[in-house]
Amino acid sequence: MLNIATEAFIIYEKRHIYANTILWMEGDWNYTRIHTVDNTTLMSSYTLKWYQQQLPGFWRIRKDAMVNAAHVVSIKRMASDPKKLRLTLSSGVQIMVARRRQFQLRHNWGQHTGRFRFEREMHDVS
């Protein structure tokens, strides 16, 4: 298991990628798209499940997506449907959270920030 706190790296083909430079990962069958802080998208032949076991600082938010907890800026309930959550990363990327992952995400967010409630988005009044 890799330690994200010590900038542990993962191997991507013949290159090293520091775990703290990964924003989020997107599963695509038996491959994983890795989105990094420098707006690079890499393809890996490892599955999302494999990365989930290797990277403890990452949260699974959907069946096909996992985010780096260190890059999560906010999690908000949508104004249009309060049952839906939208997660915002440090790059500004917004990702919807699966309903079945919300309970675990609330726990993870609480451990990470000390806040166990999510803010609600404001309606646009224009």
4-114 homologous superfamily: LytTr DNA-binding domain (2.40.50.1020)
Q: Which residues contact 121 (CB under 8 A, 6 or more apart)?
A: 76, 77, 78, 79, 86
pLDDT at position 16 is 79
* pLDDT score of 35: 96
Q: Residues in the chain with pLDDT < 50? A: 5, 124-126
Q: Give the start-to-end residue ranges of the domains of the chain.
A: 4-114
- State residue 5's pLDDT score: 47
Q: Kindly report the pTM of this predicted structure.
A: 0.81
- What integer pLDDT is reported at residue 125 of this predicted model? 45
Residue 110: predicted pLDDT: 82
CA–CA distance, 54 with 85 (Å, rounded to integer)? 26
